[in-house]
Amino acid sequence: MKIQNYINGEFLPPVADRWIENYNPAIGEVYGQIPDSTKEDVEKAVEAAEKAFPSWSNTTLTRRSEILSKIADLIKEKLTFLAESESKDNGKPVSLATQIDIPRAASNFQFFANAITQFSSEAHESVGLNAVNFTLRQPIGVVGCISPWNLPLYLFTWKIAPAIAAGNCVIAKPSEVTPMTAYLLAEITKDAGLPKGVLNIVHGLGTSTGQAIVEHKKIKAISFTGGTTTGAHIARVAAPMFKKLSLELGGKNPNIIFADCDYDKMLETTVRSSFANQGQICLCGSRIFVEEKIYEKFKKDFVQKVSELKVGNPLEESTNIGALVSKEHLEKVKSYIDIAENEGGKILFGGDRIAVKGSENGYYLQPTIIEVASNQCRLNQEEIFGPVVTIMPFKTDEEALQLANDVKYGLSATLWTNNLNRTLQFSKQLHVGIVWVNTWLMRDLRTPFGGQKESGIGREGGFEALRFLQNLKIYV
């Protein structure tokens, strides 16, 4: 199957007629091709977006909202097909795609369909001066959305929905590793009546197609989610053009467990926060710190629970852990297990590839738990982004806080305790964008999302996304 670019409302092959192979990670085989787009394709997309902008930015909020709602409805109607397509493209369990990824993609559109009707410019009366100051928020123009492979449609729509709701026209590039659901979304937006040129989807490699988007002078803002190294590169390219940037990058999140927590809930949630989506979520709690008093018990119980997880064909409902996204990524994750062995880490569970019956060439890895002696080891300092977690004990609150913050990333943290004072202290002092207390991965779509330190800059979600995607002007 050949995926096409979607430019100016039409499905088009890449100008240079070059193609990239698309793999099904569950079986390790090519099942399609995607455009290897060049600058010329991006140029065509920008022309279409520029042409569509005057009309789209003047389209009433009611109409924009209707179209976004319709897109949400169509995603829901096609839930099963989209979930199966996502699972095949990415290797994630179809159950996860059905319960989380695809419903969230629909919610992203529905949320911004509503939010845009409640979003407003502001006016401030200068009392006594006989003047009113208007703070006008206007769409930027053509914006770029670049998304990763871990939550393909979920993160693609997380960027596109607010961008078009805010009145912009979009050049979007999904990850070349997982292009399928973005391709399917194009048809959906067409059926929902989104005018041609408002959303243009250009497929291809990061270093060529993505680079062309970031370099294009007429693309005034970039919303990017991906690796920290790529984010730093994008910032360097975009800075001389003074583009607006929102960068949601990597994480190496602490999961801090105190003896006074609700143990059973903590254990069950920690299995999820460690291995959901094969550990390929920037919010996974990959560094587990456990209060010494319960360390040995936790170790035993955690290993037991994790050993019960079923690694297997992602299309089987009973599968807990599917395939990693690509061969390259599997090798990268596996290399960290080798590093652990050299660094003196002790593998408590897992560490090996798995040959799943009937899919022996798929990219499967056992969920892996490694006990480390120091937070300074590479395993605790670098983002592995796979089904690998480390554990180590701590004695005091001060030590736990120090360990949690002693890393270059600052995306999220999870805290397990029933002590209110400790909760308040940690929530204030953790250097992260989101702290979960006695829960994980729960977030109201109205809240601003993003990280500190090398986890990125800017906030997306709720009105923050709309603020980022509009320009401000004051007139008096």
3-state secondary structure of 326: coil
| 122 assigned to active site | no
Considering only residues 396 through 435, tell me which ones interact with ligand TXE, judged by CB under 6 A: none
Nearest CA to 290 among 278, 276, 274?
Answer: 274
Query: Left, alpha or beta for 453 (phi > 0: left; psi -120 to 50: alpha)?
Result: left
How far lies 270's CA from each of 123, 194, 395, in Å?
Answer: 47, 41, 20
CB of 279 to ligand TXE, least distance (A): 10
* Catalytic residue from among 86, 176, 248, 383: 248
Cβ within 8 Å of residue 236, ≥6 positions away:
none
| 282 assigned to active site | yes
C-alpha angle 310-78-46 in degrees, rounded to nearest 5 = 105
Considering only residues 277 through 296, tell me which ones interact with ligand TXE, judged by CB under 6 A: 282
Return the residue nearest ligand TXE (CB atom). Answer: 206
CB of 12 to ligand TXE, least distance (A): 19
Q: Is 227 one of the binding residues for ligand TXE (CB under 6 A)?
A: yes
Q: How far does CA 373 lie from the centroid of its chain? A: 30
CB of 150 to ligand TXE, least distance (A): 5
Q: Is 141 one of the binding residues for ligand TXE (CB under 6 A)?
A: no
**C-alpha–C-alpha distance, residues 451 and 253, integer Å:** 11
The contact pattern for ligand TXE, residues 42-81, with x = CB under 6 A and - = no contact, is ----------------------------------------
| 116 vs 171 by CB, closer to ligand TXE | 171
CB of 262 to ligand TXE, least distance (A): 29
Q: Is 214 one of the binding residues for ligand TXE (CB under 6 A)?
A: yes
| 363 vs 426 by CB, closer to ligand TXE | 363
3-state secondary structure of 68: helix
The contact pattern for ligand TXE, residues 142-181, with x = CB under 6 A and - = no contact, is ----xxxxx----------------------x-xx-----
Q: Buried b / exposed e across 292-319, counting CB within 10 Å, b at 16+?
A: eebbeebbebbeebbeebebbbbeeeeb
Q: For the chain, give the number of residues.
A: 476
Q: Is 250 one of the binding residues for ligand TXE (CB under 6 A)?
A: yes
Of 99, 126, 133, 207, the residue at the interface with ligand TXE (CB under 6 A) is 207
CB of 75 to ligand TXE, least distance (A): 21
- Tokens 């970039």, residue located: 222
| Residues marked as catalytic | 248, 282
